[in-house]
Amino acid sequence: MKLVQALLLASSLVFTWSVQATIVEFRTSLGNFEVNLFDEITPKTVANFLQYVEEESYHNSVIHRLVPDFVVQGGGFAYSGELPLNAIPARAAVQNEPKLSNRKGTIAMAKLENRPNSATNQWFFNLNDNHAGQPQLDTQNGGFTVFGQISEQGMEILAAIAALPRFNLGAANSIPLRNYTNADAAAGKTVTAENLVLIESVVIVDARSNTAAGLNPVANTLIEQQPPQDNNSDNGGSLAWLVVGLAGILLVRRRRKRLV
């Protein structure tokens, strides 16, 4: 009996989904790459993301947060030609769908600390397998919803972003910048489009929901081992994501046009 239970547990750890996926293309200042969205597994999250895409909310947005060996985050700020960055308006939060595992190369929704169902417009790419250990994104804060997978070319671009130095732009206090140094920051050199990692646009390149041949996302089996959480629970986890609150918006809007 114990052998059977062990075999069942082992099989659950490597279980993968059969998926379908709309394809979107991220067009950035460091190159373009595609992301397959998991329409059938996380339908509410994908629909939420595609609404922002169709409304062109991510046009001229920026990668505003980098944590090396962890995540690259965007979707929260746009660049209008000068600083300060503008907070992208967010709609109502979407219901959490933590069905897939936060593995390297996946895209997931960012959200407020201790609020499992607070995701709106911000997302992040996993630079490593972040499902277990620390910070254990598959279970923390109700689990972070993975809703797509990046292309191989996209991983090369993410690696280039991850190699950039980080600076403080107020609410975006860990922003990767190109062609910008600590000496530039000390001298108060103005940050321009040439320094930001810009997302010029995110567009749908294949709207069919059956374009996921060869994709095998890993199921989130860890969340099943957690006790159920209330949708409005204050016990969701300890990781503070940079989803913009009122204080953050005020900080961004009041920023001077220089890096500090």
pLDDT tens string, the chain, 260 residues long: the values are 444 344 444 433 444 444 456 999 999 999 999 999 999 999 999 999 999 999 999 999 999 999 999 999 999 999 999 999 999 999 999 999 999 999 999 999 999 999 999 999 999 999 999 998 888 999 999 999 999 999 888 999 999 999 999 999 888 999 999 999 999 999 999 999 999 999 999 999 987 665 555 677 899 999 876 554 444 433 333 344 434 333 343 334 333 322 32
> pLDDT value at position 29?
97
User: Burial, 250: exposed, middle or buried (Cβ in 10 Å; 0-12, 13-18, 19+)?
Assistant: middle
In a domain, 2, yes or no: no
In a domain, 129, yes or no: yes
Max CA pair span of the chain: 69
Q: Which domain holds residue 128?
A: 22-206
Nearest to 142 by CA among 239, 59, 217: 239
Nearest to 91 by CA among 113, 122, 46: 122
Nearest to 221 by CA among 120, 119, 131: 131
In a domain, 147, yes or no: yes
- For 17-60, give the DSSP string: ----EEEEEEEETTEEEEEEEETTTSHHHHHHHHHHHHTTTTTT
User: Could you tell me the CATH number of the domain that includes residue 51?
Assistant: 2.40.100.10
- Residue 246 DSSP label: H
Distance CA 167, CA 173 (A): 6
In a domain, 226, yes or no: no
In a domain, 248, yes or no: no
Contact 154, 126 (CB under 8 A): no
> pLDDT value at position 213?
58
> pLDDT value at position 128?
96
Distance CA 2, CA 10 (A): 12
In a domain, 60, yes or no: yes
> pLDDT value at position 16?
44
In a domain, 63, yes or no: yes
Nearest to 141 by CA among 112, 99, 170, 176: 112
3-state SS assignment for residue 196 = strand
Number of domains in the chain: 1
Distance CA 244, CA 154 (A): 26
In a domain, 238, yes or no: no
> pLDDT value at position 153?
86
> pLDDT value at position 224?
72
- Residue 201 DSSP label: E
